[in-house]
Copies of this chain bind each other. A is one copy, B any other.
Amino acid sequence: MGNRRNNRKVWFFAVSSILLGITFCLSSCTTSKENNSNSLVIKEQGSFMVGGTKTTETDTFDLDSALKPQGQTFHGDHAYAFYQIPEEAHKLPLVFLHGAGQSKKTWETTPDGREGFQNIFLRRKFSVYLLDQPRRGDAGKSSVEVTIKPTADEQFWFTQFRLGNYPYYFPNVQFPKDTTSLEQFFRQMTPNTGSFDAGVISDAVSALFNKIGDGVLVTHSQGGGPGWMTAIKNDKVKAIVAYEPYSVFMFPEGELPQPINSTGLFGALSGVEIPLADFEKLTRMPIVIYYGDNIAKEPTKVWNMDHWRSGLQMARLWAAAINKHGGDASVVHLPELGIKGNTHFPFSDLNNVEVADALSKWLKDKGLDK
C-alpha cells in the first residue's frame, strides 16, 4: 500500500515536473517572439542591375589614351532592383514598378513617415522587388542623350496627382496637410536621364522576371503601359495590379474604342491598337486596376478630375475587352469599396493599410498568396 502510494507520488512529481519544464520553455519561446513582433525578419536582401544594352565604340582601346572613347564600351538602359525576402515567404514575389517622375522611393516610407507597401507587404510575408526603371534613379545610365532643366511645376503635380486644386486640398483627401510631408512628396520626384521608352523599360522588367521567375507585377500610373508590355513579353508575369494607369490601354486591331474627350491638360485619351495575338496574352492572368477618389463621374471643367475621369472610363472599356476575350480583368474605383479620399498615390496615402487590405484580399481570392 505505502509503495503504491509512493509510486503514485513519484509519477505525480515526474509528470508535473515535465509539464512545468515544458511550460517554462513555451513561455520563454513566446516571450522572445513577442519582443520581436515589430521587427522585420529578412531572410535575404540585396540589389542588382538587370537587362539593358551594351555598345562598343569602333577602333581599339588604347590604354595610354584611356580618356578617348575608341574601343570602349557603354552599358545602359538596365533596371535597378532592390529586393527583400522575408522568412516563410509566399511563393510569388511582388515586383513594384513606379510611375512618371518617381523611383522605387514611391513604395518606401510615405511622405509623412509611415510605412509604405515595401514594409506592409514584407510583414504580410511577400518578397518585394522595388525597381528603378531604365533611365531613372540608380539605373541612370542611358543610351540616349538628354538635357535636364530644373522646371518649376510642383503646383501642377499637386493638382494633377489629385491632392486637390492648388492651393486647396480636396476636403476628404487622404494626404497629410503639413508642409513637411508636402516637401517630401515634391522632393521624391526624380528626372529621366534619357527619354521615356516603354519598350526599353518592359525589356528590362521582362529580364527581371527571367532572373527571378514567376511573380506578380504591381505598377503605378505611367508604369502601367510598360507593365502590360512586360506581361505580353513574359509569361512569368502571373498577375498584374495597376494603380491608376493612364495613357497606354491596348486593344486588338479593329476593336479600338472612340477617343474619350477630356478637359485634362493632356486632352483626349485614345487607346492603342496591337495585334490580337499580343492582346490575347493579357487574358492569361488575373488583372486588377485601382483608382482613387475625386475623379469626376460626368465631364467637368475641373481638369484634374476630368483627366482621371477619362482614364477610369478607358480602363473600364479595356477590362471589358480583356474579359470579352476570355480574360480576368477588374477595375476597382476605391470609393465604391467605401475607401474614400485617395489621391493618385493610394499606396502611400493616409489610409494605405486599408488600400493594402483590399489588395491582400484580391491576391487571396486569386490564389496568389500561396
**Cβ of A105 and Cβ of B147 under 8 Å apart?**
no
Q: List residues of A (175-199) whose CB comes within 8 Å of B's CBs.
A: 183-184, 186-191, 193-194
**Cβ of A152 and Cβ of B105 under 8 Å apart?**
no
Let me know if A34 is at the binding interface, CB within 8 A. no
Let me know if A336 is at the binding interface, CB within 8 A. no
**Cβ of A40 and Cβ of B42 under 8 Å apart?**
yes
A258 contacts which chain B residues (CB < 8 A)?
Answer: none
- Measured between alpha carbons, how far is A67 from B41 in the docked complex, in Å? 45
Smallest beta-carbon distance A163→chain B, Å: 13
**Cβ of A49 and Cβ of B184 under 8 Å apart?**
yes
Residue-wise interface mask of A (53-78) relative to B, using a CB-CB cutoff of 8 A (1 in contact, 0 not): 01111000101101101011111101
Let me know if A219 is at the binding interface, CB within 8 A. no
| Nearest opposing residue in chain B for A146, CB measure | B148
Mark the stretch among A154-162, A316-324, A353-361 that contacts chain B: A154-162
A103 contacts which chain B residues (CB < 8 A)?
Answer: 137-138, 140
How many residues of A sit at the interface, in one of the four size bands? 35 or more
Mark the stretch among A2-10, A245-253, A270-278 that contacts chain B: A2-10
- With A21-B24, A75-B186 already in contact, the answer to whether A104 and B150 are too (CB < 8 A) is no
**Cβ of B150 and Cβ of A109 under 8 Å apart?**
no
User: Which residue of the partner chain, among B18, B19, B141, contacts A187 with CB atoms under 8 Å?
Assistant: B141
Q: List residues of A (94-120) whose CB comes within 8 Å of B's CBs.
A: 103-105, 108-109, 113, 115, 119
**Cβ of B154 and Cβ of A74 under 8 Å apart?**
yes
Let me know if A20 is at the binding interface, CB within 8 A. yes
**Cβ of B13 and Cβ of A17 under 8 Å apart?**
yes
**Cβ of B47 and Cβ of A108 under 8 Å apart?**
yes
Let me know if A143 is at the binding interface, CB within 8 A. yes
Q: List residues of A (305-356) whose CB comes within 8 Å of B's CBs.
A: none
A17 contacts which chain B residues (CB < 8 A)?
Answer: 13-15, 17-18, 21
**Cβ of B32 and Cβ of A43 under 8 Å apart?**
no
Smallest beta-carbon distance A183→chain B, Å: 6
- With A103-B138, A165-B63, A166-B61 already in contact, the answer to whether A109 and B75 are too (CB < 8 A) is no
| Nearest opposing residue in chain B for A190, CB measure | B140
A66 contacts which chain B residues (CB < 8 A)?
Answer: 155-156, 159-160, 166, 265, 303
**Cβ of B147 and Cβ of A147 under 8 Å apart?**
yes
Let me know if A215 is at the binding interface, CB within 8 A. no
User: Which residue of the partner chain, among B61, B147, B150, contacts A141 with CB atoms under 8 Å?
Assistant: B150
A151 contacts which chain B residues (CB < 8 A)?
Answer: 69, 74
**Cβ of B2 and Cβ of A191 under 8 Å apart?**
no
- Measured between alpha carbons, how far is A149 from B103 in the docked complex, in Å? 21
| Nearest opposing residue in chain B for A107, CB measure | B47
- With A20-B18, A52-B187, A150-B145 already in contact, the answer to whether A104 and B69 are too (CB < 8 A) is no
- Measured between alpha carbons, how far is A319 from B64 in the docked complex, in Å? 32
- Measured between alpha carbons, how far is A57 from B155 in the docked complex, in Å? 11
Let me know if A172 is at the binding interface, CB within 8 A. no
- Measured between alpha carbons, how far is A147 from B42 in the docked complex, in Å? 40
List 10 A-B residue pairs with CB atoms under 8 Å apart, sorted by A's residue number: A6-B10, A9-B10, A24-B25, A42-B42, A48-B109, A74-B152, A76-B187, A103-B140, A140-B193, A145-B148
- Return the 3 tightest CB-CB contacts between A and B, nearest first: A21-B21, A25-B25, A140-B190
